[in-house]
Amino acid sequence: MISLPWRQGAPLILVVDDERTIREMLRQEMEREGYRTLTATNGAEALELCQKNLPDMVLLDAVMPTLDGFRCCAEIRRWPGCEDLPVLMITSLDDEESVTEAFSVGATDYIIKPSKQIHWGVLRQRVRRLLQAYAAMRELHQRSAQERKLTQITAQVRRSLDLATILRTTVGEVQELLQVEQVAICEFPPLGEPRFTVESPSLGWPSILHAPLRVRVPQDHSGERHTLDWLVQVRDGDEVTGDSWYGELIQRLGMQAFLAVPVVLGERLWGLLTAHQYSTPRAWSPHEVNMLQQLTMQLASAIQQAQLYQQLEAANGELQRLAAFDGLTQVPNRRRFDEYLVQEWQRLAQEQGALSLILADIDFFKSYNDTYGHVAGDECLRRVAQTIHQVVSYTKGLVARYGGEEFGVILPETPLAPAMTVAEQIRLRVAQLRIPHQHSPVHGYVTLSLGVSSLLPNSEAAPAALVAAADQALYQAKQQGRNCVVPY
């Protein structure tokens, strides 16, 4: 019996003949050969059966009522997917014109039954040969389509730099490529147990997401050793025991067929790409396994590329953070202050919201440094900065080191009165630190002078107006004796 790789079960042959005796003889002979059969008495009935159950071959009489074999064959050939379907005409017509017409309408082969008798040996050989050729051609077409699909999947996988997107794309596309019920990826972290982290749509089958893989993963094998140890093909789940890691998984989830291909990064086993069939057993062809092995090599490269990109993004993010922060006080620096001020000014100019600014200066800080030294001065700056940050953390504001001992607080969507309240809280909290400042003319502890301004941003003004107003208010605070808050 011929095995057709793209179908389940024995080939299906449609026998079409209006003579009951011949029809039954053909059916019985085909079934003795191990084929499945359907029968029809005329061309019209044959077309109806073809539409409902696409056969792998048609044995067709030429002379029939209602719709003869010639017109029936021509109609079959017009259907999508039936261009190469084997149609073997078996007829008593032995004239050259009939033979020519048979081939002209698309018959694959032609057998004459002299005196209503059939040469069974010849028929069996013809059927076997045509099915073999059809199977080979269909497999070639299938492989060609799969190769094109594999090229598309590889391009999609390599195109992305986001690991989650890469993995989701892989399982979805492989499910379509293999026409399988479920595809998943199991990751093997350096620490912890392996787990399935991505799966294709389950289509009603059990989800394997986050299911543990109860196996110890050796880390000292070569890439080739990993491939040998972890390449698994199970065509019938009933034939495996729970002794192996995959047998336990198959039994736990009720799988009928299972395929696992390792994903190896360098010498490390990164994970597995797996395909599962729940409804029926399934044989995995060498071509399918080879395709997935090719794909996992490309997937490994894409994973490495995504990981490097993530590391680069993290490094760039850290560099940007460091570039925007003051190293001593660990609050944003003047550069970040300027960027944020422009950003919020432009936003609130459109939304017509208030923007407030607080400029705070440590009173007599030069005297503090001269008295206690620069190390103590640095510690003082740090404590003051963190205290201001704690107060402002309850708002949408940004705290930045504006100058040597001067700090700026930007308060978006905040009118003057609430901004004054924040400034007063800052002044009181810094005073409560009770940082000694024995040579301060204002107080025995470190204090702040603060100036507050508030504007409604618009396209006709610039953020510098807000800064100039706050700076003027700070100047007034110093003129009024320091350790106070003054609005503009």
- Tally the residues of the chain: 488
Torsion of CA 307, 310, 316, 318, to 10 degrees: -110
Which pair of structure tokens corresponds to residue 146?
């799969």
Amino acid at 296: T
* CA R_g for the chain: 40
Active site residue ranges: 405
Strands 87-91 and 257-265, bridge-based pairing: unpaired
**Packing angle of the helix pair 20-32, 120-159 (nearest 10 deg):** 60
Measured from the Cβ of residue 55, the count of other Cβ atoms closer than 10 Å reads 23
Strands 268-277 and 257-265, bridge-based pairing: antiparallel
CB 67 within 8 A of CB 24: no
**Rounded distance between C-alpha atoms, residue 278 and residue 121, angstroms:** 41
Which pair of structure tokens corresponds to residue 475?
């100047």
**Rounded distance between C-alpha atoms, residue 289 and residue 267, angstroms:** 21
Measured from the Cβ of residue 104, the count of other Cβ atoms closer than 10 Å reads 11
Residues 6+ apart with CB under 8 A from 338: none
**Rounded distance between C-alpha atoms, residue 479 and residue 466, angstroms:** 20
CB 418 within 8 A of CB 410: no
Hey, which bits of 92-241 come out as E strands? 109-112, 182-187, 195-199, 232-234
Measured from the Cβ of residue 383, the count of other Cβ atoms closer than 10 Å reads 15
